Each structure stands twice: as structure tokens, then as C-alpha cells.
Homo-oligomer: A and B are copies of this chain.
């Protein structure tokens, strides 16, 4: 039996568009393959959130499910799709389901049994869990089915009372087909392979892992679908971060990939950062029906990197830049921005804020009767710049990309309606030290369009006051970032990484670390108003981290390492 994995990029709720993609693959493979496997909730795209609850959703989805079913009469290939099915029993109103369609009939349906409700996931909000194992014999072969989280119960995960994989053991399966909406983040590809090859071995059955690809708001799916044999040996994978399809040949006791599959290679960290935010931006722009973006260039690394990645994602013609100097701007802030835009062939506007800044200060004093404080002055500048970017956006329809990194957003070293202005942020889940890593990677990968060395070399500064440096207010990033990583996502980091950070911080006093924690806590109100940030790390700001604002945050002992033993 020839089985195709179709790793496609869906737009949420776009049933017409998603159907066209699915139908094209069915047509394409009908003559050469026996079965084609799409991904979890492929009809609507994963994850539709509360769209599922709207009255228009199910009829629109079911209409294309019927069209796909009808298509299998015309094109003789069996189809596995993921979809939302009405729950006719008690519990939440829907199931997250999978169906095998053959010659105009749904032969088999399976309901996802484990519904993730942690981090960015919230499936129990919409779905009732299934309670039946997914086993089905088809054309002489015996298949086991899983949907994404169903495979994540084993090992040291005690979130779930039962493990659907147990029900696929010792069942003499010819293959396990797992359809997924598995988002990518740092370390995820490795973890995913580790888990699912173990499942294949445990069940003594080859495993076909089919994932979606593409960015949906803040979440990026890397695809990277793969196949392993019954000993858990990885046979090959589809490309990461792009649509791809591949055929395997499955028989009793034999599985073989075709040349569509490539050897799996684990993506190095900096390359992962690049591919993740590149695709996140591409798809947000495309799926929001924007064409162009605009970026305010400060002369610093954050805005330069954002611009450089945007050019690779969208093309230089679709990217504009504005430099907005004030009295506190260094000479380099303009010349470096000019050099950057020249290299990347981006149109750069220069719009001094000096005159408006002066007027704002004067009027402030006239009306409020006092001289603006240093904080007020700094924020006026940032907000004038935010407004100018939005003027350009309103005038041209370009999407403003905001350029705060995760270190700044963590401690609140950022201005609401100022540098936080924008509809999307592609580097907001990269710590400052990682912004540098990615910039260096960019320059290695694209030596013909490098970010100017002067930008990489300069000391980080907001340039909102005379001779200001980030380090006047914040610890050096080499110290700050490990403190932040441990505080924000320490529980999700691999042990070796936590050990490394604790070693780095061993001479930093606890009171100082606690002060950083307090900054993070106190900045929650700013982050609540942030645009979507492309998720990169294990835990990103946004839906994956849900904290109260008007609250007291319990103190955490920064030396606590009990979980490292």
C-alpha cells in the first residue's frame, strides 16, 4: 500500500481555500497512491479557538467534508483527515476527530482521547475526549490511529490518567498513523522524535507522523513530518517549515520510504530561530491580507534584525523603514540605518521627531505647569515614533512590526504605544543574547546582505536620554537572560540548560535576582497590550503564560535547584 503524507499550510477557518489545497493533493496522488493522510483539524486549520463555537463553523466545515468524501468516488484514493465532529453525548459539544474515507464512505472515525490544557493549548474548552482505541483494519492491513497529544502521555508525563498508546500495544499493527497540529518551539523537534520513535518501538509498529506547517497568529508549525520503522528507527522526514508531501510503501512486515523523504537533520538553534520567525511573519502577513510592513529603525540590533528578516520573508519591495532621530540619537543611529537599508535595498524615510518633541515639551510645561520628568520625556519620544509609524501604516496599509525583544518585554524596558506599537512582533520571544546569535547567523547565511557590523558592535541603548545605555538600568544581558529564562520557563528547560544557568548565576546575589523577578511581575500590564509575538521558546508571553495584573506575586527562592538532582 502506498501512503502519502500531505504536510500543508492551512488558514484558520478558510474552508474554501483549505478544501482547494486538500482536493489538489487528492487529485494529484489518486493515480499513484492508495491512501493520503492530512493533519489534525486540517479542514479548518489548527487551532480555530472559539470559532469552533460559532454557529457558522460546523455547517461550513461539514460541507467541505462532504465534498472531500464525494471526491473519493471520482479519484480512487483513500483519505485520512482531521475535523471537528459534534459530540452527541454529554460533555463539551465537539470531538477532535479523524476519519478514514474510502470510495465515498467514512469507514472509520476516531476521537482524540487526550486533550491538552496547558501552555498555549486549551482543547478541553471545545472538545470532549474520546474513549475508544483507534484501531481499524483496511485492505488487509491493520492500522492504529492517534491524534497528536494522544502520543504525549507516556514517559514522565503524569498529566493524564490513561495512555492511548497502551491500547495499541501487542495488537500486531502494520502501522500507526498519527495526525498532528504540533507547533514548533525550541527543542520540540528533538522531543517529538524521541517520543514517537519510542511509541513505534513500544507497539512494534512503523509510525507515520503527519503534521501541518505554517504560522497561525503567534503559533508556528514546522511540519517536519516523519516516518519510523517498528524498532523506532527514523527512516526519513519531510522538509521543515514548508509544504511538502511524501510517499511510503507499506506492506505486511515491511515499510519503505520513497525519495520524497529526506534524511532527518536536527536544526541548529540559530537556524531554528530564523526559520520559525520567517515563516511566522510570512504567514501572518499573508493570512491577514496585508502586503507590506513598515519598521522603525533605531540603529540598534533589534530593529535591524527585524528588518533583515522581513526582507527575506516578504521581499525588499514590501518593506519600508523609517528612522526618527531626536537630540539624543547618536550619529550612528541614522548612518547605520542608512547602510542597512542600502544593503537590503529598502526604502528608508527620515523623519526627525525633534520639532514635535520640542513642541510637546513646551506645551506640557504650559498646561501642566511643570517640567516633564525624565520618564515622561523618554516616553514622549517613543510615542511620537509609534505615532509616526502608525501614520505610515494608516496611509499605506503597511503593517507595523514592533521590535521589542523578550528581555525587554520581560522587565518592562519598553514603552506602551511607543516602541510596543505594531500589529505583530517577530523577535519578541527571543532574548537579547539570542537576538545577537540570530543576527550573526543571518550574516553568515546571507553574506551578500549583512546587518552592518557597526550595529552588531554598538552598546545597547534606547537613546532616549543623553549617553543612555541599557546597562544603566538593567544587568548585562549575559546575566539578565539566564535569570529571565529560569524565572519564565525554568520548569520547561532541559536539566543541562538549567544547570548551566545556575552555574552562570552562582555569584549573583539573591536580592538582585529577586529584583529582576519583580520587574517581570510588574510589567504584566504592558505585555497584556502587546501585539501577537511569534512563539519561539518553550513558554512565550501571550496565551502560553496567563498571569493576573492586580496581584501580589509570591517570592521565589532564586537559588532553589531541587529539581536538578
Interface residues of A (CB under 8 A from B): 11-17, 45, 47-51, 53-57, 59-61, 90-92, 117-118, 122, 124-125, 158-161, 215-217, 283-284, 287-288, 349-351, 355-356, 359-360, 363-364, 367-368, 370, 372-373, 375-376, 379-380, 383-384, 386-387, 390-392, 394-395, 416-417, 421, 423, 491, 525, 528-532, 543, 545-557, 560
Contact = CB atoms under 8 A, between A and B. Distances in A.
19 contacts: A12-B552, A13-B554, A15-B554, A49-B548, A51-B548, A54-B556, A56-B553, A56-B554, A56-B557, A60-B554, A92-B117, A122-B546, A216-B548, A287-B551, A372-B395, A373-B395, A376-B394, A383-B387, A529-B530
Best-surrounded residue of A531, A552, A555 (most CB of chain B within 10 A): A552
Listed from nearest, the 5 A-B pairs whose CB atoms lie closest are A56-B554, A287-B550, A12-B551, A14-B552, A417-B417
A395 B416 contact: no
Best-surrounded residue of A283, A376, A421, A549 (most CB of chain B within 10 A): A549
Contacts of A356: 356, 359-360, 363
Given A91-B161, A283-B550, A380-B391, 8 more contacts: A54-B556, A56-B557, A122-B122, A355-B359, A376-B391, A380-B387, A529-B529, A543-B546
Nearest to A121: B125
Nearest to A555: B56
B351 A554 contact: no
Best-surrounded residue of A363, A375, A416, A530 (most CB of chain B within 10 A): A416
A429 B59 CA distance: 30
Nearest to A218: B549
A216 to B, nearest CB: 7
Best-surrounded residue of A117, A350, A351 (most CB of chain B within 10 A): A117
Contacts of A90: 158-161
Nearest to A550: B287
A320 to B, nearest CB: 10
A360 B14 CA distance: 40
Nearest to A375: B394
A112 B546 CA distance: 22
Given A372-B391, A390-B416, A12 B546 contact: no
A342 to B, nearest CB: 19
Contact of A390 (B56, B363, B417): B417
Given A117-B124, A395-B372, A550 B380 contact: no
Contacts of A549: 217, 288, 532
A54 B546 CA distance: 11
Nearest to A549: B217
